Amino acid sequence: MPPPPWLPPPPVPPSTKGRLGAAVTRLILTDFRCYASLRVIVEPRSVVLTGPNGAGKTNLLEALSFLAPGKGLRRAAIAEVARRGPGLTAAAGDGGWAVAARVSPVEGPPVDLGTGREPGPLDRPGSDRRVVRVDGEAASGQGVLGERLSVLWLTPDMDGLFRGGASDRRRFLDRLVTALDPDHASRANAYAHAQRERARLLREGRGTDAWLAGLEDAMARHGVALGAARRELVERLSASVSRAVGSFPRAGLALESEVDQWLAEGPALAAEDRLRDALASSRRRDAQVGGAAHGPHRDDLLVRHGPKDLPAGQASTGEQKAVLIALLLAQARVQAGTRTGAPLLLLDDVSAHLDEGRRSTLFEALDGLGVQAWVTGTDRQSFESWEKSAQFLRIEEASVVE
């Protein structure tokens, strides 16, 4: 029922106005990496974490990355994350940890997300499972996290993304797809499972025709769905990244992918048939060589530095970082207005390789998009141009000192 006309409209909290993505306003860590316990309250705008090497800055970003489904920004095993120290080993039978956050979405009331590992010995069944709570209620899987919040990150480990192997680029691409469509992760898992089973049967030489055909059918159905989701994301992202943002270059994106080519040539069902046939006729080769000669596990994401018209891998270190940031900003624009809104951005050591001009453009772009970014660096000077709009936390020896 609409409110009576004589009542003034409810006030919009100033902090949510113009925001396009969810923001974390409270973070509580328990036995997480170097943190025995930490409680941080912030406003729903960007946060800069500074402090010396080893203070715990990246660990804090990693904790935030666990608010999304998956293995977090270090891709760590779940037990590795539990705090270690004298008399405190995971093997000693504890190994529990928790991350709890209050998330303020673009619209609607705040939601409390929690995740972690229940304390207990590592050999207990299910002890490698990450538990999830939404508003205090246990959830059956991590999927619900992706429906509430989307989180993306950039870490120094990704500096070589354009020069390294295709699997890292595929993983990066799939993370972008999943941020927009949380179901993508289960598609990818279903495909990988069928692919592993088929490879095992071929290696052991025990698969009957029907058994192999069943697995190839699963690979074809999930593989084409996977390819179609990648294709759609690359199309949307291409449109968004085709214009420069300040000193962040425009970039060109393309998929190098058999399935993508088939999808360009005809309907998805025809692409499934082609993948099914290609797999069936490569059994002998796959049995000898291992793996599978066809399928989206061979895809690559090709990225070009727009103004230089060069493959991104041939641009300078700083230019490559600028392209990566341009991709994340483009993704944030694509996600704005969707169910989870623009992602929370975790930018670890982001000022390394960025000159002063690019740093200030980045901060302006993040403010302009209305996303909450959590950014780390060793010294505060690199963030001078952000003093007015970001909040600063100094971390030393696993505590917030300012």
Q: Which is nearer to ligand ATP, 42 or 144 (CB)?
A: 42
CA distances from 38 to 29, 35, 101, 269 (A): 5, 6, 12, 52
Identified binder of Mg ion from the candidate list 46, 50, 58, 351, rule CB under 5 A? 58
Q: Which is nearer to ligand ATP, 56 or 146 (CB)?
A: 56
- Phi/psi region, residue 363 (left: phi>0; alpha: psi -120 to 50; beta: rest), is alpha
Cα(385)–Cα(101) distance, rounded to whole angstroms? Answer: 28
148 and 113 Cβ atoms separated by less than 8 Å = yes
54 binds, among ligand ATP, Mg ion, none (CB under 5 to 8 A by kind): ligand ATP
84 binds, among Mg ion, ligand ATP, none (CB under 5 to 8 A by kind): ligand ATP
Least distance (Å) between residue 283 CB and ligand ATP: 45
Its sign, for the CA torsion 337, 338, 340, 346, is: negative
Strands 373-377 and 344-347 turn out to be parallel
Distance of CA 375 to the CA centre of its chain: 15
359-378 residues in contact with Mg ion (CB under 5 A) are none
CA distances from 399 to 34, 235, 313, 373, 381 (A): 9, 43, 38, 20, 21
Q: Give the number of other Cβ atoms within 10 Å of residue 359's Cβ.
A: 20
Q: Which is nearer to Mg ion, 50 or 340 (CB)?
A: 50
Least distance (Å) between residue 348 CB and Mg ion: 6
56 binds, among Mg ion, ligand ATP, none (CB under 5 to 8 A by kind): ligand ATP
Q: Give the 3-state secondary structure of residue 248.
A: strand
- Please choose, out of 51-59, 163-171, 279-287, 303-311, the segment that lies near Mg ion by the rule CB under 5 A: 51-59
83 binds, among Mg ion, ligand ATP, none (CB under 5 to 8 A by kind): ligand ATP
Least distance (Å) between residue 380 CB and Mg ion: 16
Long-range residue pairs from 207-210, CB within 8 A, at least 24 positions apart, any chain: none
Least distance (Å) between residue 63 CB and ligand ATP: 10
Least distance (Å) between residue 396 CB and ligand ATP: 9
Least distance (Å) between residue 163 CB and Mg ion: 22
Its sign, for the CA torsion 315, 321, 324, 330, is: negative
Q: Which is nearer to ligand ATP, 55 or 113 (CB)?
A: 55
Nearest to 45 by CA among 2, 75, 13: 13
List of residues contacting ligand ATP (CB under 6 A): 33-34, 51, 53-59, 82-85, 378
Least distance (Å) between residue 374 CB and Mg ion: 12
109 binds, among ligand ATP, Mg ion, none (CB under 5 to 8 A by kind): none
Q: Which is nearer to Mg ion, 255 or 350 (CB)?
A: 350
Contact residues toward Mg ion (CB under 5 A) are 57-58
